[in-house]
Amino acid sequence: MRELRWAAEALDDLDRIAVFNEQRSFEWALRVQHAITRQAERLVEAPLRAPRQPGSQDRTVLISDFQYVLTYAVDSAFVVVKSIRHTWEDR
């Protein structure tokens, strides 16, 4: 079984998302953080379920309840979460 890893950018994204959502409420921020981390942990069980992005080895999965997109990469040993963004974000 593969191990879950978080890239530095993804950890920065988690912090940024938490700060933003805490403006709404602390409880909301916790719910969002929990959904994101739970989705990342699920990727270890079925890492190839999302299709590759065109021209890339990266894959994306939508956390539909909160409209966040998690970008990740898979190799033989790891699932690496690379970034997290809201669908409304312009990056």
pLDDT, tens digit, for every residue of 6-41?
999 999 999 999 999 999 999 999 999 999 999 999
Which has more confidence, 16 or 51? 16
Gap between the Cα atoms of 1 and 49, Å rounded: 15
Q: What percentage of the chain carries pLDDT values higher than 70?
A: 98
At 91 the pLDDT is 59
The DSSP letter of residue 53 is P
At 89 the pLDDT is 78
Q: Are 81 and 68 in contact (CB under 8 A)?
A: no
Structural domains for the chain = 3-86 (3.30.2310.20)
- 58 pLDDT above the threshold of 70: yes
Gap between the Cα atoms of 60 and 16, Å rounded: 19
Q: Are 33 and 24 in contact (CB under 8 A)?
A: no
- If we measure between CA atoms, which residue out of 2, 77, 81 comes closest to residue 45? 2
